[in-house]
Structure 1
Amino acid sequence: MDGNQTKTNASLCLYWPIEWHYLASYWYILVICVLGIVFNVFVLTVLCLHKKACTAAEIYLSNLAAADLPLLSALPFWAQYVVKVFEWPFGRGLCKMVNVFMIMSGYCSIYSLVLISIDRYLALVFPLSHERLRRPLLAKVGCLVVWVLSFVLSVPDLIYRDVKIYSDNSTVCTINYPNYATEMGCEIMQIMLIFIIPIFIISFYSLKTFQALRNRPIEGVSVQKRAKKATLLIVAALLVFLICWIPFHMMVIIYILENVNVLMLTCNTLIFMYVWYPISMYLKIFTSVLNPILYVFVGKNFRKKVKEISKCQK
C-alpha cells in the first residue's frame, strides 16, 4: 500500500489525504522517535551500569529495549519520506537499510515479548521446579537466537526492497517482488511469523499465568498484593499488545485475502483501509514507548536499581 492511491481489479479508487495529515504524521513519528530512544537507552544504561549481574528476566527486558532501537533509528528517515508525500530522497541503499531495520526490530520485539511471557510464566507458576530454565546463560542464548532469526526473516526485504521511479517522476521506496507467487509467499510468511504465531504464544502463556495466580491459595496481605499487582500487569501488558498490534496486522491480512481473491473489496472499503492503514502503523510503533513503561519502569526492582546508581554517582 505505497503511494497515494488504492486500486481494485474493477475500478480505480482515488484518495488524497488532507495536507496537514503529512505534517501531523511527521511530528508524531519524530516525537515517538525521541521518547522511544530516551526511554529505551535509559533502560539499557541502568541495567548495564548496575553492579549486580542481570537476571534472566532483566536480560530479556534489555533485549526488548535494544530491539526497539533499530526501528527508532529508522524513524527519522521514514518521517522525512512521509512529509515529502512519499517521495524517497535518500537513495537505494538507505531504502533497503531503513526497511530492514524496521522489519528486524518488529521480529526482535515480538519474539522478545514471547521470551518474556514464557519466563514470567515459569517464574510465577513454577518458581522452583523450573529454575534451571531461567539461567542467565540460557537467556543470552535465547536473545542471540532471536536476533539471528530476525535478520534471516528480514532478508526478503533486503533483496526485494528498492527505489522505483514512476511515470509521473515520483520516486518511492517500495517492495518489488519478481512475481505474484513470491509476493504472496513472503506476505503470508511474515504475517504468520510476526503476528499469528507469536500472538498465540504470548496470549497462551499470559492467560495460563493469569489463571495460575487467580487459583493459587494466597496467605498474607503482602503476598496477596504482589500477586494482584503481577496479575494486573499481565492483563495490562496483554491488552496493550493486542490493541497496538491487531489493527495493523488485520489490515495486512485483509490485503492478502483481497490479493488471493478470497475477499472482494469495494472502492469505499479500500479507501477506508487506506485512511486507517497509517494510523494502525503509528499505533504499532507506539509500543516502542509503551514497552519500557509497562515492562520495566513499573517494576520495583528497576526503580531500586535506579536509586542505587543515583547514589553511586553522587
Structure 2
Amino acid sequence: MEPENPISTTAISPANFTNESICHDLEAWNWLYTMQPAYMLVICVLGILGNVFVLLVFCLHKKACTVAEIYLGNLAAADLILMFSLPFWAHNVANEFNWHFGPVMCRLVNMGVSMNMYCSIYFLVLVSADRYVALVHALSHGRMRRPWYAKLSCIAVWSLGVLLSIPTLSFRTVQYISQYKVTACFLNYPNRAVELACDILLMLLGFIIPVSVISYCTWKIICALQRQVMDRFNAVNTEKKATLLVLAVLVAFLVCWVPFHLITLLDILLRLKVLHGCLLINVLDICNQIATYLAFSNSVLNPILYVIVGKNFRKKVKELLEQISYRKNKGSGSTRSQTSSTLKTFA
C-alpha cells in the first residue's frame, strides 16, 4: 500500500495515457494540500514517540522478552519504518505532488511504506498463532513457543516484506508529466496486466490469506477462553492478559486496514470493467486517500493499546522505572560513600 495522487496511476501516465484521465477531477484534490501534510506530521511525531517508547521498554527491561513481546517489538519496528517515511510524503503532498528527493529516495520511501504493510500483518499472524498455541495447544505444541523460534520467524517476515516490496523498487519512478506540470514519484507499470497482477498479489498476500489465518486463530482463542475457568493466580490467567492485548491490537488493525483493502478491491473491479463511471473513479480516488491515512493511523494506536490494555506491559514499564531509579540511587550512594571515605582520610 502506498500513498497515491491524481497523477500516479498508469491510466494517466505518459506511457499509458487513455481517455480515463478525463475522469480525474483535480479540483477535488485541493483539500489534500493543506490537511493531509499536517495530519501526516502529527501521526509521524506521535508514532515515533510511541513506538520508540515500546522498543525501549522491551529492550531495556532486565527480563528477557516473551515470544509475544518479540513479535510486538518487531511490529513496533515496522511501524517506525513507516513513521520515518511519512515526512517525505507530507512534503510531497504539500508541494502538490512535486517530488524533490530524487528517484532513489522515491523508491526507498515507498518501499518502507510497503514493508510496513506486509510486515505488520504477518507479525500479527505470528502473534495470533502464538496465542493460539498458548491457549489451545499448550501441552502438545508448547515447545514451539521458544524465543529462538520467534526470532527466526521475525527474520523470515522481514525477508518476506523485502521480497513483496520488489514491485515498488522496480516500478516507482520520478518523471516530469507535462499534462499536470509536476515532477512526480509514481508507480509506472509497464502495462495493465502487470498492474492488475500486483494489485491481486497485494489483496491475496497482503490481506486475504493473513487475515484468514488471524481469523481462524482468533476464533479458536475466543472458544478456548470461554471454555476455561480462570483462576486468579494461575498461569492461564497470565496467558489471558497477554491474549486480551493481542485481540485489541488485531481489532485496531482490522478497523484501520479493512477500508483500504475494500477500496483496492473496488479499484481492481473498476480496471476489469466490472464497474465503471467517472463518478466512481473520483469517489474511489478520494476514498483511497482517506483509507490510506486511516491505515497509517494504526501505527500510532498500537503503543496506546499497550498502555491501556496491556497489564503486563504496564507492569514492565513500572519495573523498568524502578530499575532506572535503583541504578541512579545506587550510583549517587556510591558517590556519597566515596566522598565520605575521602574526607575521613584527610581528617
The TM-score with structure 2 as length reference comes to: 0.83
2:29 and 2:192 map into 1 onto residues whose CA distance is 32
Aligned pairs for 1:16-55 (under 5 A) are: 16-17=27-28, 19-55=30-66
Could you tell me which of 95, 100, 111 is aligned with 1:84?
A: 95
The TM-score with structure 1 as length reference comes to: 0.91
Report the CA distance shift for 1:47/1:5 in structure 2 as closer, same or farther (over 3 A).
closer
- Could you tell me how far 1:306 is from its partner in structure 2? 1.2
Corresponding residue for 1:268? 279
Report the CA distance shift for 1:304/1:5 in structure 2 as closer, same or farther (over 3 A).
closer
CA RMSD of the aligned region, Å? 2.4
Report the CA distance shift for 1:83/1:161 in structure 2 as closer, same or farther (over 3 A).
same
Corresponding residue for 1:177? 189
Report the CA distance shift for 1:221/1:53 in structure 2 as closer, same or farther (over 3 A).
closer
Corresponding residue for 1:285? 296
Report the CA distance shift for 1:155/1:18 in structure 2 as closer, same or farther (over 3 A).
closer
- Could you tell me how far 1:2 is from its partner in structure 2? 2.9
2:237 and 2:153 map into 1 onto residues whose CA distance is 31
- Could you tell me how far 1:22 is from its partner in structure 2? 2.1
1:64 and 1:11 map into 2 onto residues whose CA distance is 38
Task: Tell me if the contact between 2:44 and 2:86 (Cα under 8 Å) persists in the aligned partners.
Answer: yes
What are the superposed Cα offsets for residues 221-257 of structure 1, whole Å, 9 maximum, x if unpaired? 6779878866765654443222211111111111112
What are the superposed Cα offsets for residues 257-289 of structure 1, whole Å, 9 maximum, x if unpaired? 21122x222222222112211110010011101
What are the superposed Cα offsets for residues 166-219 of structure 1, whole Å, 9 maximum, x if unpaired? 114311111111222222222211221111111111111111111221233x15
How many corresponding residue pairs?
A: 312
**Percentage of pairs with the same residue:** 49
- Could you tell me how far 1:138 is from its partner in structure 2? 0.1
Could you tell me which of 107, 125, 148 is aligned with 2:159?
A: 148
Corresponding residue for 1:304? 315
- Could you tell me how far 1:125 is from its partner in structure 2? 2.3
2:45 and 2:58 map into 1 onto residues whose CA distance is 20
Structure whose alpha-carbon radius of gyration is higher: 2
Secondary structure at the residue paired with 2:28? coil
Aligned pairs for 1:63-102 (under 5 A) are: 63-102=74-113
Task: Tell me if the contact between 1:46 and 1:305 (Cα under 8 Å) persists in the aligned partners.
Answer: yes
Could you tell me which of 174, 180, 189 is aligned with 2:201?
A: 189
Could you tell me which of 5, 8, 13 is aligned with 2:23?
A: 13
Corresponding residue for 1:202? 214
Q: State the AA in 2 paired with 1:311.
A: E
Q: State the AA in 2 paired with 1:275.
A: I
Q: State the AA in 2 paired with 1:123.
A: A
Task: Tell me if the contact between 2:32 and 2:93 (Cα under 8 Å) persists in the aligned partners.
Answer: no
Corresponding residue for 2:6? 3
Could you tell me which of 243, 255, 262 is aligned with 1:243?
A: 255
1:20 and 1:185 map into 2 onto residues whose CA distance is 31
Report the CA distance shift for 1:297/1:46 in structure 2 as closer, same or farther (over 3 A).
farther
1:98 and 1:289 map into 2 onto residues whose CA distance is 19
Secondary structure at the residue paired with 1:171? strand
- Could you tell me how far 1:11 is from its partner in structure 2? 7.8
Secondary structure at the residue paired with 2:223? helix
2:238 and 2:66 map into 1 onto residues whose CA distance is 19
Report the CA distance shift for 1:114/1:312 in structure 2 as closer, same or farther (over 3 A).
same
Query: Unaligned regions of 5+ residues in structure 1, if any?
Result: none
What are the superposed Cα offsets for residues 126-178 of structure 1, whole Å, 9 maximum, x if unpaired? 33332211000000000000001110110111011101211143111111112
Q: State the AA in 2 paired with 1:290.
A: L
- Could you tell me how far 1:312 is from its partner in structure 2? 2.2
Secondary structure at the residue paired with 1:105? helix
Q: State the AA in 2 paired with 1:13.
A: C
Query: Unaligned regions of 5+ residues in structure 2, if any?
Result: 12-17, 326-347
Could you tell me which of 127, 132, 146 is aligned with 1:135?
A: 146
Report the CA distance shift for 1:109/1:231 in structure 2 as closer, same or farther (over 3 A).
closer
Which shifted more, 122-131 or 188-197? 122-131
Report the CA distance shift for 1:20/1:40 in structure 2 as closer, same or farther (over 3 A).
same
Task: Tell me if the contact between 2:50 and 2:303 (Cα under 8 Å) persists in the aligned partners.
Answer: yes
